[in-house]
Structure 1
Amino acid sequence: MTTSCTTVNVTAFSASAQQLANEQKFAALAKALSHPARVRIIKILLTLDNLNGCLNSDLVSQLGLAQSTVSEHLRILKQAELISAEPIPPRMCYRVNRNKLEEFSNLFSAIVD
């Protein structure tokens, strides 16, 4: 089976500074979500958020990962501003940042449209 390939002028793919910035933002958020454990953390936080709660329990047992690994996943999600952490002694209360998830969705839509 053979397919034909049409030659296209490469300048048709030029992007504005804003488009390039949006692509960089999207890539950074996608990278933060690129691990199944981080996706699972977001899912757990979204479920808790729908119940007007936050996660202040032990994620280690829910994810089946070492504490240091869970801490690293949480750090990456916080750095990308996908979650926030509020100290409520003796633990941290983690919440999902719905605005950042919406931004990710909008950036993705802009790329694929």
Structure 2
Amino acid sequence: MSELVELPLLTVQSAGRREPQFFRGPDGEVVHLSTWGGSPCPGCNEMTAVGEQITRMHGDWWHARCAKTAMASMSPQSAWLVLAAQIADQPRRFKVGTIRTVVQQLIHLVEGGAS
């Protein structure tokens, strides 16, 4: 039951780094509207490019491949918690069977078993 490979991470396509925007104010002055430029992937320290698959883990955006690598090296409890957090954020994006598996594993972990 602790097979994480079969359980999907929630991924989206990256829109890439946002460029700053400039506007003209009412008096004709150019106003710079700063937009968030993103942060590098915690797994590889590189910015995401347009179209890459990314996922949210531990409050940061990761490349999906980096997140899967990180999950393979973390404790099973931590990996299950990553999946549970993703389900809590967007439950409609997961199949019922996936949700059931993650909840069953969390119950097992809370009851004191480790797998």
TM-score range normalised by the length of the shorter chain:
under 0.3
Question: What TM-score, normalized to structure 2?
Answer: 0.24
Bigger fraction of residues in strand: 2
